[in-house]
Structure 1
Amino acid sequence: MTTRTGELIAAARDRALPVVRALPDDALDVPTPCAEYDVRHLLNHLFHVVVGFQALAAREEADFSVTPDRLTEYGDGWRERFEKETALLADAWSVPGADEGVAGSMNLPAHTVGAMALLDLTVHAWDLARATGLPYAPDADGLRALEELVAAMGPTARTMGVFGEPAPVPAGASAFEALLASTGRDPRWNRREE
Structure 2
Amino acid sequence: MTQTIGELLESAAERALPVVRGIDDGQLGGGTPCADYDVRALMNHLFLVVVNFQALAARKDADFDHEPEFVTGDWRARFGDETARLVEAWSVPGVEEGTTRRMGLPARTVGLMALGDLTVHAWDLARATGADFVPEEDVLDELGPGLAAMAPQARETKVFGDPFPVGEGAGAFERLLAMTGRDPGWRPPGSGAEPTS
Mapped to 1, the partners of 2:169 and 2:21 lie a distance apart of 31
Mapped to 2, the partners of 1:83 and 1:8 lie a distance apart of 16
Query: Within 5 A, what are the aligned runs for 1:1-194?
Result: 4-72=4-72, 75=73, 77-192=74-189
Percent identity over the alignment is 59
- AA aligned to 1:162 is V
Mapped to 2, the partners of 1:162 and 1:193 lie a distance apart of 27
- AA aligned to 1:61 is D
TM-score normalised by length of structure 2: 0.93
TM-score normalised by length of structure 1: 0.94
Count residues with an aligned counterpart: 189
Q: What per-residue deviation string (whole Å, max 9, x for no partner) do you get for residues 37-80 of structure 1? A: 000000000000000000000000001112111113xx1x1000
Q: What per-residue deviation string (whole Å, max 9, x for no partner) do you get for residues 61-108 of structure 1? A: 001112111113xx1x10000000000000000001111110231110
Mapped to 1, the partners of 2:157 and 2:190 lie a distance apart of 28
Structure 1, unmatched stretches of 5+, are none
Structure 2, unmatched stretches of 5+, are 192-197
Structure 1's consecutive aligned runs of 4 or more residues displaced over 2 angstroms after TM superposition are none
Mapped to 1, the partners of 2:66 and 2:181 lie a distance apart of 23
Q: Which protein is richer in helix relative to its size?
A: 1
Mapped to 2, the partners of 1:89 and 1:43 lie a distance apart of 16
- AA aligned to 2:110 is V
- AA aligned to 1:149 is G
